[in-house]
Amino acid sequence: MSAERQATVWTSTHVPSASPIDGFGADGYAVAWVDTAHERLQVLASGDAPEPGTRGRIVTTPVGDLDLDLFVADAR
Amino acid sequence: MTAVYLSGIGITPFGRHTDTPLADLGVQAAKLALADAGLDYEAIGEVFAASMLAPPQTALRVSHRLGMTGVPVTAVESASASGLVALRHAITAVASGHCTAALAIGYEKTTRLEPGGVVPAPTGAWGAFPPQVQYALEATRWLHESGSAAEVYGAVAAKSHNQARNNPLAARHAAEPVTAAEVMQSRMVATPLTRMMCHVAVDGAAAVVVTADRRPDSVSVLAIEQASRLPDLGWPDDGPVAGPPSQTTETARRAFRAAGVEPKQIGVVSLHDLCVSEEVVTLLALGLVDERRLVELAVSDGLTSTGQLPTNTDGGCIARGHPFAATPLAQVGEIVTQLRGNAGPRQVPEPRVGLAHAAGGGGSCVVALLGV
């Protein structure tokens, strides 16, 4: 498992249909582009689509056979 | 560039062609284009045929149906940019003196795969996600940066649906004029994009005849430029299906320079709009308008045939429909039709220079400038 990385949301969207990944987002899911210290990444996001500028971290989470990079917003 | 002309166009109706073999669609479009040019297939010195999903060797099957003339036939695949890539090859074949006439054809069946057709397997972690996600992400960012309301997207999409009402070949024909509110109320695909803001995948074909001589109703090729991906730190390496707006900017810059044309001279635009946000972002990336003016045009019918920046006058991918590889040649067909003054109720008043733009999955971009 990789270390958590700090990230800031640049943009996001919520897709109100099932994710193609078994065990994740069966009722809809969010995707975001987030800026880390080194690059802009496309990642899945936890919960609703976070607003641009939202700060948080990228957490690697096991889902079935996959390790998903998931953006989790900091608690406000 | 060496004088080269687009002298014939052919477009099949876009929609569901379940019982029509894919090759038949290609042959149909090619014959329409040849008839429009007043040429027999025997005059064609080289063929470039584009598809993304066709069974192998379809290009040869289409060309052999047109005639066993022994000319070189080349299949082209570059996703949604395929048709313009094929056209660029055809233009190069004529401009180089290799032949005096060449044919570019694009054909696709997306509603039901042609037997033996190729379905690209998902690649990478994001391959199974819908392509609309990228455009929704761009859409959200543009709203954030511009301070605009999502209704701007509703207005632009409504424009495309209403333009298609005057295009008999379009896939989506609304019975009544479409409003921005109606677009906003349709099913959400990926925030902020609704179904009526997204392309409709259809079947269809289009073809263009390129000639070295000016013929009746010929349109001049002023420039056609193609680019693959360039570095852009603002664009994730993994996830987006197509290249960044900066790629469109660079491709257009090369085309304007090659043609000796200024953006303000463009009288009609046909651009790739997988979703409505691509239309907004691409108009900005092409340098045809600034952000403030774009919003003004979007909400005041400024992007319609009679507006100041007529864009996707045939309805675009949203309403004309999007048979992947065939789409760019239909776009070129629309620009040629407009420059000829033959667009009927969707005619732009006396355009002199038109722009066609295609952006394909994987990161291919083409910009063509055409003039009378």
- Three-state DSSP string of B56-84: CCHHHHHHHHHCCCCCCEEEECCHHHHHH
Query: Which residues does chain B have within 8 Å of residue A15's beta carbon, measured at their own beta carbons?
Result: 130, 133, 136, 189-191
Calpha distance B89→B102 (Å, rounded): 9
* Nearest alpha-carbon partner for B356 in B168, B68, B3, B91: B91
Q: What is the pLDDT of residues B182-230, one digit of tens each?
A: 999 999 999 999 999 999 999 999 999 999 999 989 999 999 999 999 9
Give dist(CA B83, CA A19) in Å, integer.
Answer: 32
What mean pLDDT comes out for the span B303-314? 98
pLDDT at A2: 52
Name residues whose C-beta falls within 8 Å of residue A43's C-beta, 6 or more positions apart in sequence.
A7, A31, A32, A33, A34, A58, A69, A70, A71
Strands B364-371 and B353-360: antiparallel
ipTM value: 0.95
A31 touching chain B per CB within 8 A: yes
Contact list, A20 vs chain B (CB under 8 Å): 128-129
Maximum pairwise Cα distance, chain A? 32
Q: What is the pLDDT along chain A (76 residues), one digit of tens a residue?
A: 456 899 999 999 999 999 999 889 999 999 999 999 999 999 999 999 999 999 999 999 988 888 889 999 998 7
The radius of gyration of chain A's CA atoms, rounded to the nearest angstrom, is: 12
State which amino acid sits at residue B53.
L
Contacts of B136 in chain A (CB under 8 A): 13, 15, 31
Closest CA to B125 of A69, A51, A40: A69
Q: Which of B193, B234, B239 sits opposite A42 (nearest CB)?
A: B239
What integer pLDDT is reported at residue A3 of this predicted model?
64
Mean pLDDT of chain B: 97
Instruction: Find where tokens 């082209």 sit.
Output: B76
pLDDT in tens, B66-92: 999 999 999 999 999 999 999 999 999
d(CA B206, CA B184) in angstroms, rounded, equals: 31
Q: Which residues of B touch A (CB under 8 A)?
A: 125-126, 128-130, 133, 136-141, 144, 188-193, 233-240
Nearest Cβ partner for A31 among B137, B139, B233: B137
DSSP A15-54: E-S--SSTTS-TT-EEEEEEE-SS-EEEEEESSSPPPTT-
A vs B, Cβ pairs < 8 A, gives 65
Cα(B370)–Cα(B364) distance, rounded to whole angstroms?
20
Q: Which amino acid is at B8?
A: G
CB-CB: which of B126, B128, B136 is closest to A13? B136
Query: Touching check for A7 and chain B: CB below 8 Å?
Result: no
Alpha carbon distances (Å) from B17 to B107, B271, B298: 12, 24, 33
Which helix (H) or strand (E) segment holds residue B274: the answer is none
> How does DSSP assign B331-345, residue by residue?
HHHHHHHHHHT--GG
The Cβ of residue B238 has, within 10 Å, a number of other Cβ atoms equal to 10
Quick: pLDDT tens for B155-191: 999 999 999 999 999 999 999 999 999 999 999 999 9
Q: What's the first-to-final CA gap in chain B, in angstroms?
A: 15
Chain-centroid distance of CA B207 in Å reads 12
Cβ-based contacts of A11 with chain B (< 8 Å): 137-138, 140-141, 144
Q: How many CB atoms lie within 10 A of CB B41?
A: 18
Residue-level pLDDT at B84:
98
pLDDT digits 0-9 by tens, B25-82? 999 999 999 999 999 999 999 999 999 999 999 999 999 999 999 999 999 999 999 9
Give just the sign of the alpha carbon dihedral B260, B206, B249, B313: positive
- Considering only CB atoms, A11 lies closest to which of B129, B141, B189, namely B141
Please, are residues A9 and A2 in contact by the beta-carbon 8 Å criterion? no
Q: List the one residue out of B307, B311, B250, B241 whose CA is nearest residue B274.
A: B241
* Residue indicated by tokens 């060309």: B63
Identify the closest residue of chain A to B241 by CA–CA distance.
Answer: A42
Q: Do A40 and B234 touch (CB under 8 A)?
A: yes
Residue whose pair of structure tokens reads 């852009």 in the numeric block: B232
Nearest CA in chain A to B234: A40
The string of pLDDT tens digits covering residues B125-147 is 898 999 999 999 999 999 999 99
pLDDT of residue B164: 98
Does residue B268 surpass a pLDDT of 60? yes
Q: What pLDDT, on a 0 to 100 scale, did the predictor assign at position A67?
A: 87
Q: Do the Cβ atoms of B140 and A52 come within 8 Å?
A: yes
The burial of B64, by beta-carbon neighbours within 10 Å (0-12 exposed, 13-18 middle, 19 or more buried), is given as: middle
